[in-house]
Copies of this chain bind each other. A is one copy, B any other.
Amino acid sequence: MLQHIKRMKKIIIASTSTLHGGTYLEYLTETLKEHFKNCSTLLFIPYARPGGITHDEYTQKAAEFFGKLGIEVKGIHEFENPVAAVQNAEAIFTGGGNTFLLVTQLYQNKVMEAVKTAVENGTPYLGTSAGSNICGLTMETTNDMPIIYPPSFDTLALVPFNINPHYLDPVAGSTHMGETRETRINEFHHFNPQPVLGLREGSWLEVKGNTTTLRGDLDARLFRQNTPPEEIATGTDLSWLK
């Protein structure tokens, strides 16, 4: 029975790491205590960070938060064999940054498949922003700038749809002629059939086994091909969505 519980998929897919006015991961503290309650160590994947801070510094930021939860953090870049690091991890957290860079490095270091297998076999996973984007079927609904060319746009497919983190509603009265987020996602649907869930900052998906639930204070916006966008209330069971 314990084995069964341990093997259940456990995933948090968060729109953002940080709420305006809050500290890093602060708003998720209670959720993460529960999510990682059986873990004393966590593997952090800092690949998405395009500079400004080093992988060590980024890992230290995660370590400071998880230290308060009694969880020791190591960065994947500290291991000689990153695939083995993933396979042996008690828990995995992929931080935000640039999704093109993250996906490029996951492929280059050959850990994309290893992360997928580990999480599907029950290693608890947390993603924020770019780390959440990769939980979808593809990274094709990222908001990030394509600063590097990844070998593929395919990602972890931990949920059978795509994620749009940091979802932004159109700005009322804007005179800017660039596309709104909603327009961009509609354009995605001219070429791709899968639903896209727009997660506003402060929202997250909780995957437990076969159940996927929207969490946080806000509603999410669901885009499906040939269907008007819908508002999804927090607490909604989204296990049917594909």
A interface list, Cβ under 8 A from B: 16-21, 50-52, 97-98, 100-101, 139-149, 152-153, 166, 168, 175-179, 184-188, 190-192, 201
Contacts and interface: CB of A to CB of B under 8 A. Distances in A.
A19 B176 CA distance: 8
When all copies of this chain in the complex are counted, the total is 2
Contacts of A142: 145-146
Q: Is the interface of A mostly helix, strand, loop or mixed?
A: loop
Contacts of A166: 176-178
Contacts of A50: 187, 190-191
Contacts of A18: 177
A177 B143 contact: no
A52 B177 CA distance: 16
B190 A51 contact: yes
A192 B148 CA distance: 9
Given A146-B139, A147-B140, A177 B201 contact: yes
Contacts of A152: 149
Given A51-B187, A178-B168, A148 B143 contact: no
Contacts of A149: 140, 152-153
Contacts of A178: 143, 166, 168
A145 B143 CA distance: 6
Contact of A176 (B148, B168, B177): B168
